[in-house]
Structure 1
Amino acid sequence: MKKRSPLIYEFGPYRLDMAECRLSRLGKEVTLRPKLFDLLAVLVEHRGQMLEKDDLIHSVWSETAVEDNNLTVSINALRRALGEDNYIETVSRRGYRFAAEVKVTSGETATDMAVPSAFVDLEPPGGAIPLHSHLYLARDTDKQFYTAMARGDSIVLIKGARQVGKTSLLARGLQKAREEGVAVVLTDFQHLTATAFETVEKFLLTLAELIADQLELPTLPHHTWNDFISPSSNFERYMRREVLTRVPSSLVWGLDEADRLFNFDFASEIFGLFRSWHNLRALDPSGPWHRLTLALAYATEAHLFITDLNQSPFNVGTRLALEDFTPDQVAEMNRRYGGPLRNEVQTRRFYELVGGHPYLTQRGLYEIVTRGIDLAAVEEQADQDEGVFGDHLRRMWVSLERDASLCEGLHLVLRGQPGITLTHFYRLRSAGVLSGVSPQDARPRCELYARFLKRRLT
């Protein structure tokens, strides 16, 4: 049986005791079916985060085939059990978020391990790390990013595999720019709805409207859009006339999850536009383009999608690569979690298991601390569906199994055989599944992935 966390969560008049599987309101028990309790537990543990529908289904109904409608019915039942307060928010077409403020306390079962004094303040890993969190570990790339932003570089590229920390770094760079009096806008491509990507005109008009909203500009894009010129020309004119002219300072535009754009036919047109603004710094020195910095965070190998290098912003500007944690950085993360790994031998074993993967490092340490388990227990169940990394591994597998050719390439790597194509290698490396500099050097990103994928594919 999966061991319950010893934590107790309190929100509003409610108290959620994880170890006892008990929800109470003002001391009176609220009866929930087991799956409703599990659903509430997942939402509360990831409070403040948007959880995809598929992730919730895999977390709660991992051994059962369940459709979206079952999740919807369960969410509605949970809302009724909690009363009329808006504890659970719906993120349209994507998932749900537990929105209430939550107080965390430790249960009586967590007594036999080194617990940090800030134990009750540990935020669950996943998504961007809060700006002032002591769990954010700065790397050499941070200083390089801040320096490029301070210089006002035209384009700053943050590249790295999935869950390596790109969004957290981007958030800190944008915050430093704000503190320096620079205007900042942020576009997260993952937050855009499918309709925004239907045509290049809809996409650019959406971007312009979002920029206008964040900067509170008086002239809205749809009031100036001209049907006689192209969408790209409309967008560039709006940026020149209404954005850069009206903003008194320099402007940093952060674009997160830029990879999503690669899936659309007009991607080259958009990225070509960004490249042209870089060129305009030299071609139009009296223009406003020297006051604009684009900061793009992405994982995918851009050259797989943009064949004309003269139309690519990914080979100009400042290029930064975020890598996995080093052994010393994993040791530092262990210290920040209160030292649950008790010596250098344990730290090395843990590093070899997760390979310095930033998310896995934090997830593993968080689970050791909050569940009151030791490293041996983590190692024993690490690659199991119900282990401490189970949710993460299942999400990775769901994504991989959709592409049989990708799985075959991965199978070759796991067997130590040559033959994986260059495209499949780059796709798997961008997805954070493989490491290496070439197909000949391809290997699983960490021991945990190797164990899990061998069990799935062989």
Structure 2
Amino acid sequence: MQDSQHPKQVSSSDLRNSQFGCGLVNANTVNAGQIGGDIYNIHLGQQTAASDNSVQSQNQRQRSQSERDSLEKAYILQSQKVANLRTALVFETDVSRKFQYEQQLQTEERTLNELGDKLDAIEQQLQATDDSGVETDISIYIERPPIEDKCYKAIVQPGALIRLKAPQRMGKTLLLEKTLDYARHQGYQTAKLDLQLADIDILANLKTFLQWLCVDVADSLELEPQLDKHWQEVFGLNKNCTRYFQKYLLLVTDTPLVLAIDNFERLFEYPEIFPQFCLLLRGWYEAAKQGDKIGNIWKKLRLVVVHSTESYPSLDSNHSPFNVGLAIELPEFNLQQVINLAKQQDLGLLKEQDLAQLMGLVEGHPYLIQSAITHLKSQQVTLEELLRLAPTEQGIFSDHLRQQLWHLQHNPQLEIGYKKVVRANAPVRLDTEVAFKLHSLGLVKLVSNDCVPGCDLYRLYFSTRLE
């Protein structure tokens, strides 16, 4: 993303006394201070990672929801401002004014993109703190053989690269934690980088991002950053990051280092960073194959990349980390795994046919299954009532469904595409990028090149909500 200006500085001149060409649109409608005002001072603040074994308090969740609502209002106002500026440009005939409005439009579009990024980030926070805590409680982990064994065997291989892929809330982060825990038991060092926690400023340019990576990994290993010593401007950015890892993090120890990168798909929207960072990771992976001294150093690095969709931005196959190493795609739970989960939760009241009936609504989606079992265990609802109310605002999935609806309503292409999917009686062919994004949200399953609803719950709910 381009470097952004503070919202209070978006306009270099006051256009309030001007008229656009033809006198049809008053400049007041596009003045930077007229729409939105101080609401642009809203910010997410310092995002901190919650404990992997606990759920944030309800008060914090309410604050996050309030912050999201304020940001959403700001986003709507900023969208209107951008739309007004675009309209003004159509009617403006004065060359100097037209140039002025073009410059302002670029700035306002950057502000709009920043607000969108902040909204996406806080939505991720809310999803991570949903009341069932599906992906955070390691005590309720259900194995999906042979996936775990493959990860354990791969992580001990010199220069390993593991790619974990699945839609949101399928258990990727929990599998990642299991793999990291196994590595720690082998005596390995581990560092986890969650890109969802990266501030927008960090993603502003490649240099800032790579330096943040270096400092964050050093901090995870309880080392001083020492960027001044190992970062030399004479070298390129990827070269500097490589030298930092090689000379400071890897060379001085014989202990392997596992670097895990979660929520990698966030970089897909940053074309300045994504291809270069992919090239960097691929270079580290290839360096470990060398038989010389340098290769022996890089063999100590093990990479784990976690993402929720395909890497739809185009990449040279020789520069991509997405076509090498071990690829792991997490499937949904099968009936036996759902039975095992119910047993772990001491939910003996549910029979196999009851669980099969539940799967008829949500299939084997780990989050939805766990959420249902949690509510049934607490006796807040009977199975019959749960199934009846599930696709409504009174159902136990209402928060999750509204979050998914928010994603669709803030991306018109996704909304239009998903409306076709839930209202069709057969698989639907969508634009590739739209299909991948819907799949990353877990809203669709891919059948060859076509899409079907992720489960009957989604079909029932969204077929009435998407008008």
The 2-side partners of 1:431 and 1:52 are apart by: 24
Hey, what does 2:144 align to over in structure 1? 139
Question: Which residue in the other structure is 2:307 paired with?
Answer: 298
Q: Which residue of 2 aligns with 1:150?
A: 156
Structure 1: distance between partners of 2:262 and 2:398: 27
Please tell me whether residue 67 in structure 1 is matched to residue 65 in structure 2. Answer: no
Cα separation, partners in 2 of 1:272 and 1:400, compared to 1, 3 Å: same
Does 1:234 pair with 2:243? no
How far apart, in 2, do the equivalents of 1:329 and 1:137 lie? 7
Change (3 A) 1:284 1:235: farther
| Residue 53 of structure 1: how far off its partner (Å) | 10
Q: Distance in 2 between matches of 1:142 and 1:406?
A: 33
- Residue 248 of structure 1 deviates from its aligned partner by 2.6
Contact 1:182/1:249 (<8 A) preserved: yes
**Which of 202, 205, 223 lines up with 1:199 in the alignment?**
205
Residues 55 and 391, structure 1, Cα contact 8 Å, conserved in 2: no
Name the CA distance, whole Å, in 2 between partners of 1:168 and 1:409.
Answer: 31
Relative distance call for 1:421 and 1:127 in structure 2 (3 A) is: same
Give the Cα–Cα distance (whole angstroms) in 2 for the partners of residues 452 and 177 of structure 1.
42
Which one of 427, 444, 448 corresponds to residue 457 of structure 2? 448
Q: Cα distance 1:54–1:197, how it changes in 2: closer, same or farther (>3 A)?
A: farther
Please list, as runs of the form range in 1=range in 2, the aligned pairs for 1:431-446 lying within 5 A after superposition.
431-440=441-450, 442-446=451-455
Residue in 2 that maps onto 1:26: none
TM-superposed CA distance for 1:163, in Å, is 0.3
The residue that corresponds to 1:277 in the other structure is 284
Structure 2 residue 380 is matched with structure 1 residue 375? no
2:90 corresponds to which residue?
none
- Deviations, residues 293-319 of structure 1 (Å, cap 9, x unaligned): 1011111211x1133111100100011
Any residues of structure 2 matched to 1:361-372 within 5 Å, and which? 361-372=369-380
**1:397 has 2:405 as partner:** yes
Shift of 1:387: 1.3
- Residue of structure 2 in register with 1:88 after alignment: none
Q: CA 1:423 to 1:60, structure 2 compared with 1: closer, same or farther past 3 Å?
A: closer
User: Would you say the 8 A contact 1:159–1:320 is kept in 2?
Assistant: yes
Inter-partner Cα distance in structure 2 for 1:268 and 1:58: 32
1:421 aligns with 2:421: no
Distance change in 2, residues 1:276/1:409 (3 Å): same
C-alpha distance in structure 2 between counterparts of 1:137 and 1:362, whole Å:
11
Q: What is the CA–CA distance in structure 2 between the aligned matches of 1:384 and 1:436, rounded to whole Å? A: 25
- For residue 355 of structure 1, the aligned residue among 351, 354, 363 is 363
Shift of 1:69: 11
Q: How much does 1:455 deviate?
A: 1.4
- CA–CA distance in 2 between the matches of 1:403 and 1:96? 16
Aligned mates of 1:50, 1:279 — CA distance in 2: 40
Displacement, 1:431? 1.6
Between the two proteins, the alignment pairs up a number of residues equal to 360
**CA RMSD in angstroms, aligned pairs only:** 3.0
Correspondence for 2:40: none
- Asked if 1 retains the 8 angstrom alpha-carbon contact of 2:438 and 2:444, the reply is yes
2:327 to 313, 319, 327: 319
The offset of 1:322, in angstroms, is 0.5
1-structure distance, mates of 2:53, 2:181: 23
Match for residue 194 of structure 2?
A: 188
Q: Are positions 1:164 and 2:164 aligned together?
A: no
Which structure dedicates a bigger proportion of its chain to strand? 1
Q: What is the 5 A alignment of 1:109-120?
A: none
Change in 2 beyond 3 A, CA 1:411/1:371: same
Query: What secondary structure sits across from 1:273 in the alignment?
Result: helix
* Distance in 2 (alpha carbons) for counterparts of 1:230 and 1:295: 25
Question: In terms of mean alpha carbon deviation, does 417-426 or 357-366 score higher?
Answer: 417-426
* 1:344 counterpart residue number: 352
CA distance in 2 between counterparts of 1:293 and 1:408 reads: 41
Whole-angstrom CA distance in 1 between matches of 2:283 and 2:254 = 23
Could you tell me how far 1:391 is from its partner in structure 2? 0.7
- Number of the residue aligned with 1:330: 338
- The answer on 1:309 being equivalent to 2:312 is no
Q: Which amino acid aligns with 1:269?
A: Q
Aligned twin of 1:104: none
Alignment-derived partner of residue 243 in structure 1? 249
Deviations 1:331-380 (A, max 9, x none): 21122222255222211110111111000000011011224321101011
> What percent of counterpart residues are identical?
25
Pair 1:69–1:322, CA change in 2 (3 A): closer
Distance 2:441 2:330 in 1: 14
Q: Distance in 2 between matches of 1:196 and 1:68?
A: 20
How far apart, CA to CA, are the structure 2 residues paired with 1:364 and 1:292? 40
Given that 1:341 and 1:375 are in contact with CA atoms closer than 8 Å, whether structure 2 keeps it comes out as no
Describe the SS at the equivalent of 1:384. Answer: coil
Q: Any conservation in 2 of the 1:162–1:430 contact (CA below 8 Å)? A: yes
- Which structure 1 segments of 5+ residues have no match? 1-45, 71-92, 99-122
Greater helix fraction, Structure 1 or Structure 2 = 2
1:28-51 CA-partner distances (Å, limit 9, x unpaired):
xxxxxxxxxxxxxxxxxx994358
TM-score, structure 1 length as denominator? Answer: 0.73
Query: 1:341/1:59 Cα in 2 relative to 1: closer, same or farther (>3 Å)?
Result: farther
Q: Given that residues 142 and 169 in structure 1 are in contact (C-alpha distance below 8 angstroms), is that contact kept between their aligned partners in structure 2?
A: yes
Aligned letter for 1:305? P
TM-score, normalized by length of structure 2?
0.71
Cα distance in 2 for residues equivalent to 1:59 and 1:195: 23
Distance 1:160 1:365, change over 3 A: same
CA distance in structure 1 between the aligned counterparts of 2:69 and 2:279, rounded to whole angstroms: 43
Q: Take 2:363 and 2:194, find their aligned partners in 1: how far apart are those partners? A: 28
Shift of 1:261: 1.3
1:230-265 per-position Cα deviation (integer Å, ceiling 9, x unaligned): 111110000110000123311111111111111111
